[in-house]
Structure 1
């Protein structure tokens, strides 16, 4: 039985905390300080030799919850477990997962920066926030066993509730390869862990890999250090959870339909809701504005248009956000880190804030479930294929039945697709699927756009229509002049030839049978 199951309130010794930090942090930071370490020289030499085997990063620490401010996070950087152990009594929060680059945002070295998800070096543990104390520790443990992955490694008490640590057997290293594919896997595991603990009101919207309560000598109410989880087992468990919800692992909005989300009932209801605040643990005003900014981004709007839209929506709110924070949200939405809004977040916002008694089916347009590819700006050539597909689908959606071309200026086509004009010129030069034509000159000129497939279909339809018209014309001539034509030599052979060419048939030429028989 683990060391704290029998004594939830027992104060932890330095040795026990040292073991806890070792399990939670793995080898992500050094064991001892490089300078002024209290460890003996032989111990430091042995530890440094072992530390060289693994890449090292840093964790961020905060002394007080109030140091999370709108201007940034006041704290400092820790690169050794020895420092963390010494400073633990004076700290409240830390990042249990290790970051690869780190620094201070100001000359006074008061504000820290670098703790964003894409800067993660390794994930050591998942932490689930329970923002209430209505459940006992035993109830939390039973729920973990019955509804989730299993018993947690630690339960840390906070002022408002508990935080459950699920430590990994080995670190889950995050690579920027494949558009941070590993990070997306890790975030899905985190989401499924939080979803599995809804019976004890786990905070689904808590940051997956941010700051959490630092385990210290007095706030650990449960410790089962043998309860650690292999990454592979967590992925398998998470995939089973996804199967139950019928949602694949990766999602990427790849194409836009002509029917935009801007015309949807749910979007209209959301933008006409003015009393959006949001309590702790709930999605509120900031999340709504961020979601709307992502919608503008996914619709292909430029940043200025989205900013005007957000300003108008924000001004209607009962408690509007200040201009500076609104601009920060806009910058984040257009940072390129996000492909579009989250369907789950939209559904949560509607459920929490739209109180008109209606339920809405949320659709974010044509979404395909694929393994995530690199962002367009990170690829050399493959983005031309995506743009080509976008243009083909756009032309097909806009085309009139009477002709294969749609008539747009090149600027209008660029704005509709969201492609730079220089890239469109390169695409047209190399495309085997697109046709562009210009008629007229100067201001009277028009630019037509179609696809090879649409043009071929149109040409075949035109030939077919002309053939049908010609057939009808020949049939009419023969029917009207059959008496004059019968005596002419070769008439019988002509009728047979026209019949074999499907220009005439027995059905369409009542006189054919008798003529054929008189030869």
Structure 2
């Protein structure tokens, strides 16, 4: 078994062949910059984000015996929020360069559950697609379904490939969930186990399928998306509220850019989902037809009349109960705004998921709260007014974070170099918050003298010593300049 060829099969053309710096090969040909992946030396480091950015296959092979986790799908770039220790940044959906593989995490959650590699293969026969690779993990297995062709994420397609791939990945997991303990909360394109000589249980290079084959299969899985199952999140308004009163319904209905294209969750899916909401809300089919006919006529590329009628009749057939929230969220992020959150889409915020351990739930909340705080600061500040000052109670109410948790989040964000804050008690006091990166970006081109004056201003506002302010922002500015020079991609891994 050639582990190097397995890595190449997963990563495809996503990385350079050779390290940009310090390559062990002589007279290597010039290679344009490609993408980046992230790798981690153990699970503890992965959870803390302590890893390395890798941009070449050479670096993968040099370090593969010491890495346990990586990102098999390639990102456009990778950076670090800090260098000692190195905390990786950039492994998020809007930075994906290409999708190379789908993977499923089978995780034993209690001692009563027992299964093995053969159980995954048997279930795969029923799926109709066999895994390329199965890895043994501490608590179960991970199955890779490596694509035969790369699914590139491009601006010309408005990055909708990610949303389509997410639906496919979700359907794969839904299939295996029937019989096996699948981790449904695992990020579709995040961090996975890295194939190594000591963890490969099964490998067949011939088990690879095109993105089109997966898409065609996924389009036949409507029952998975629209069936009312006890272990799914099903859309239902809160008492006294109908589904047609939910924010998502009006956001979709007011979008005229929805169209039907190959490999996209398009207007058929949107109209079916809107019709289903009408059905669940007790609206007569004739009234629904009237409203959605008007909606369809206002689309830039409407459905023909017979297809529209057929879609609405199907929604009112009684076969379907409601669309899953995940599916609705993807539709809205695809056709309305990719940054829409659950809170902006649904009146009722109840979600039913597999219960996690207390430690896992705390980590999940911490990550979400960090994002909420950063987003809040960025939205409330400008280049001319780079900080916000508000009573602690106001920030707690705005973000919905418990007071003690907010204290912990702020401390954590400041330690990792994302935020700088100060707190003053008593009358006229409150919390002062500023985004370190936002301020640094505005300072990167100014003169040293102008920067020193600005540091004095920040020192007074934030009530930090001038030396502390200078230390924080000088370090960030150095990292930003390195990033702009692309040196940050090449620290010691290539």
Q: TM-score, normalised by structure 2?
A: 0.49
Over alpha carbons, which structure has the higher Rg? 1
Name the structure, 1 or 2, with higher relative contact order (CA <8 Å, separation 6+). Answer: 2
Q: TM-score, normalised by structure 1?
A: 0.47
